[in-house]
């Protein structure tokens, strides 16, 4: 009995400490906001008391809005809704709801504009905007759910996910405006005017959450609570758990390395009729809504001419093919034929926890058709292993959320890896193809629009090489590692072989209406690369090109860049969480097998 009493006292102490810590964190986050209504023996009247509450709320709102880029709008939108509250959690929820309301209002106006629009490209752009604004609202709604379930034992994961999702909301609205390229009507200007306030409030919400997350990280809350998790079973329920179709954890690596899987898939797709379906889209209709377990679709070798869409409610879908050059999904939609970039994609992935293994994705439109996307990925915690992505301009649209690519091949000409995801490409091969006459080649065009977004592209290991046709004509076409598509474009190349066809300057400025852009606000860096194209002595001299030391480079190792990698490790797919050890005057051997000591 006495032992039970002692345990109970310990639990009460832990709960008490956690509560005090939460209060302390909130105080730190809002920079010492205090309730200025003090006990008064003179019993001040209700008007004076209410004035003090208003003053306290105003101070709380101002302090919460302090880290935002649009402070005045933040304060003006929060104050009317805040009432007498000074609770940061409630104010954050109010900020989210204000943003949702603004996006919803603009969505209604967009629908009216869509009905009135006659110009085909503008009409398609407005239709795309409606879809993207719906996605943006969804990101805020699930962020609200996470804030309501705020739990100190999982605080780092909660804030990480909310930052990722709010970043997605910002990107979706910006992508809406991108869709008006080459339109001739006034729709583009009208849409930009419509979205200004909602984009500002979305940016503000992201800034507030980022500030809170940074403060809590400084407190090192998980260490104070005695480890990454208080309870053994306190895994994030949204993480991709070990697949139920795997018999034992030790055998999962071997299982995933085998081609094809020696397991029974949920459905099989085969063009020759030997499976359950001849179409991938028909197979996807069998996925249960909001599916919580891996739903394996085995796609036998063949060329599948169809446009595939894994929708948001198709979660935990696994595509397994017979090889990236054997199981191929192909299409040819393109910009020249009247389709905006977003909708040119052959395959669209929106359902979270998507995995593809040994599958090829292609847009065969060709370089003369300009933007032509092979795959657009918007699924959070998505993984691609031993896949192949082939196209020319804009091959792989890593649009939003957390994405991991391992042992893949990506080919293209201009900006053939682009978007605003948190994307890591580990041990992948990037094949630069021959473009049209008078065109240059660029491997990446990362699209980080807001300085608070946790997004970027990390290319770790693997190689950047030229296709034989480009190699033969390399004097006619310059090739670059990256160009900054958006203001805060961020790309890091580390431990990668860079062949000699890459131009010594390395980077190409983005050309806007007023000339070169984003050279000073981008973040580009190369760390421990090798090969004839890795010489940095003649790189472009921009303020946005950085030299990283070892400590800074480790901020971009996968485990830290993702701020949590259990969703990768739980699948058993090969994964290296850190950065290989480098020794002076000794060649580093890279085999990309995980070493526990490198994950810190």
Residues with catalytic annotation? Answer: 415
CA nearest to 180, candidates 110, 109, 112:
110
Helix (H, G, I), strand (E, B) or coil at 209: helix
Computed from CA positions of residues 526, 540, 483, 139, in that sequence, does the dihedral angle turn out positive or negative? positive
Q: Are 360 and 390 in contact (CB under 8 A)?
A: yes
CA distance 425 to 403: 9
The b-or-e profile of 184-222 (16+ CB within 10 A means b, else e) is ebebbebbeebbebbbbbbbbbbbbbbbbbebbeeeebb
CA distance 105 to 183: 24
Q: What is the DSSP string of 162-206?
A: HHHHHHHHHHHHHHHHHTTTT--SSHHHHHHHHHHHHHHHHHHHH
Report phi then psi at 57, rounded to 5: -65, -40
Q: Which residues neighbour 215 within 8 Å (Cβ) at sequence distance 6 or greater?
A: 25, 28, 29
Residue 354's CB is within 10 A of a number of other CB atoms, namely: 24
CA distance 105 to 87: 27
Question: Strands, E, within 108-155: which ranges?
Answer: none
HSE-CB of 237 using CA atoms within 13 angstroms? 3
HSE-CB of 313 using CA atoms within 13 angstroms? 6
CA distance 195 to 199: 6
CA distance 407 to 30: 44
The structure tokens listed for 148 are 């309501």
Q: Are 396 and 359 in contact (CB under 8 A)?
A: no
């Amino acid at each position: 009995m006495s032992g039970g009493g002692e345990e109970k006292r310990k639990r009460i102490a832990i709960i008490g400490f956690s509560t005090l810590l939460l209060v302390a964190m909130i105080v730190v986050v809002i920079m010492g906001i205090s309730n200025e209504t003090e006990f008064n023996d003179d019993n001040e009247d209700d008007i004076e008391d209410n004035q003090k509450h208003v003053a306290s709320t105003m101070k709380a709102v101002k302090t919460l809005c302090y880290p935002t880029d649009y402070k005045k709008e933040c304060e003006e939108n929060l104050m009317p809704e805040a009432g007498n509250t000074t609770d940061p959690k409630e104010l954050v929820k109010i900020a989210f709801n204000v943003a949702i309301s603004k996006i919803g209002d603009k969505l209604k106006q967009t629908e009216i504009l869509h009905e009135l629009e006659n110009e085909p490209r503008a009409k398609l752009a407005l239709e795309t905007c409606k879809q993207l604004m719906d996605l943006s609202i969804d990101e805020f709604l699930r962020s609200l759910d996470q804030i309501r379930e705020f739990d100190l034992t999982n605080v780092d994961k909660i804030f990480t996910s909310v930052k990722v999702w709010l970043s997605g909301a910002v990107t979706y609205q910006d992508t809406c405006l991108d869709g008006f390229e080459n339109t001739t009507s006034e729709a583009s200007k009208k849409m930009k005017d419509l979205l200004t306030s909602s984009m500002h409030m979305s940016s503000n919400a992201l800034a507030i959450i980022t500030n809170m997350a940074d403060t809590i990280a400084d407190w090192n809350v998980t260490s104070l609570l005695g480890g990454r998790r208080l309870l053994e079973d306190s895994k994030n329920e949204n993480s991709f758990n070990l697949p139920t179709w795997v018999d034992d954890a030790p055998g999962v690596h071997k299982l995933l390395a085998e081609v094809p899987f020696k397991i029974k898939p949920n459905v099989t797709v085969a063009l020759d009729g030997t499976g359950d379906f001849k179409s991938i889209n028909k197979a996807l209709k069998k996925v249960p809504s909001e599916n919580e377990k891996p739903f394996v679709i085995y796609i036998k070798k063949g060329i599948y001419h169809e446009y595939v869409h894994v929708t948001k409610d198709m979660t935990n879908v696994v595509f397994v093919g017979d090889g990236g050059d054997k199981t191929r999904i192909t299409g040819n939609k393109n910009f020249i034929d009247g389709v905006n970039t977003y909708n040119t994609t052959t395959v669209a992935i929106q359902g979270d926890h998507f995995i593809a293994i040994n599958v090829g994705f292609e847009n065969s439109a060709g370089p003369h058709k300009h933007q032509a996307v092979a795959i657009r990925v918007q699924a959070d915690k998505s993984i691609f292993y031993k896949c192949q992505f082939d196209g020319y301009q804009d091959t792989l649209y890593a649009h939003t959320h957390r994405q991991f690519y391992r042992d893949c091949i990506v080919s293209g000409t201009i900006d053939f890896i682009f978007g605003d995801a948190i994307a890591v490409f580990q041990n992948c091969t990037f094949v630069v193809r021959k473009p049209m006459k008078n065109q240059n080649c660029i491997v990446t065009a990362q699209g980080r629009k807001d300085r608070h977004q946790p997004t970027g592209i990390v290319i770790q290991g693997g190689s950047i090489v030229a296709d034989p046709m480009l190699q033969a004509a390399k004097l006619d076409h310059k090739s670059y590692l990256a160009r900054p598509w958006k203001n805060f474009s961020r790309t890091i190349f580390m431990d990668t072989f860079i062949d000699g066809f890459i131009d010594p300057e390395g980077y190409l400025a983005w050309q806007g209406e007023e000339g070169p852009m984003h050279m000073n606000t981008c973040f580009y860096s190369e760390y421990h690369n090798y090969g004839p194209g890795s010489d940095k002595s003649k790189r472009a001299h921009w303020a946005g090109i950085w030299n990283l030391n070892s400590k800074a480079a480790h901020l971009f190792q996968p485990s830290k860049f993702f701020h949590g990698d259990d969703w990768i490790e739980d699948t058993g797919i090969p994964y290296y969480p850190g950065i290989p050890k480098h020794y002076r005057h000794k060649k580093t051997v890279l085999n990309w097998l995980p070493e526990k000591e490198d994950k810190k």
